[in-house]
Amino acid sequence: MKKITLSLKTSPRVLPVQFHDAPPAKSPSVEYDSAVRGSRKAGRVLVIDPFPGSRKALAEALEQTHDLVLCGQTDNPSRALGMVRRLKPRVVVAEIATAEGLDLIRALRRRHPRLPILVYTFLDEEWHAPRALEAGADGFLRKGIGPAGLADGIRGALEGRLVLSPRTRERLLGKCVRLSCRAPRQFDSRLFGRSLFQVAAEAEPHRRQ
């Protein structure tokens, strides 16, 4: 079956970055594996973010939950791959506001196809969310959403849901519907690895509000 994909605005071509497990000499990477092994919290979270303030805020948000625990954090994408292998997080929360941001998502998806990846970023959602989802992310949230909203987003990714703001979910759903109407026999009802019906179901409550 021929697939129809969403057309996106063109952007300057960026060469893919090759990631390796070897860390740089100086990297504020911290692993909490021994500290969280005895924790009753099942949701082990690995944070990949170049901004110290964001990492601190995210760690504080996780401390307020009853089910999520920080198992490690780093500002370096290359080191993150080795940390995923060692710490075995149940979900990765990553900032993509760097040149290698999307390449990190692709590398994680290739090496860990079943690992939920949630993008948590300062970047504009309308432009970057579709690209992050195409790269393999399971959700996209903008920073500033608040501790409760972030925790809910992480839980959503853990549960296998597509995590997006209502506005972006509606916009992507609208594109899918328009494409399916134009070429119903050729339309592939998969959107970034999620079914069209799942996106529609998740968008429906927001339409009724």
pLDDT of residue 165: 83
Q: Are residues 199 and 159 in the same domain?
A: no
Q: Are residues 149 and 172 in the same domain?
A: no
What is the domain extent for residue 172? Answer: 168-208
34/193 Cα distance (integer angstroms): 34
40-60 b/e (C-beta count within 10 Å ≥ 16 → b)? ebebbbbbbbebeebbeebbe
pLDDT of residue 183: 52
Domain assignment present for 11: no
pLDDT of residue 168: 79
pLDDT of residue 101: 87
> CB of 134 within 8 A of CB of 191?
no
Joined tokens for residue 42: 């099942």
Q: Are residues 86 and 150 in the same domain?
A: yes
Q: Are residues 120 and 198 in the same domain?
A: no
User: Taking the C-alpha atoms of 164, 166, 167 and 172 in order, what is their torsion angle to the nearest 10 degrees?
Assistant: 60
Domain assignment present for 1: no
Residue ranges of the chain with per-residue pLDDT less than 70: 1-28, 31-41, 175-209
Domain assignment present for 190: yes
pLDDT of residue 167: 79
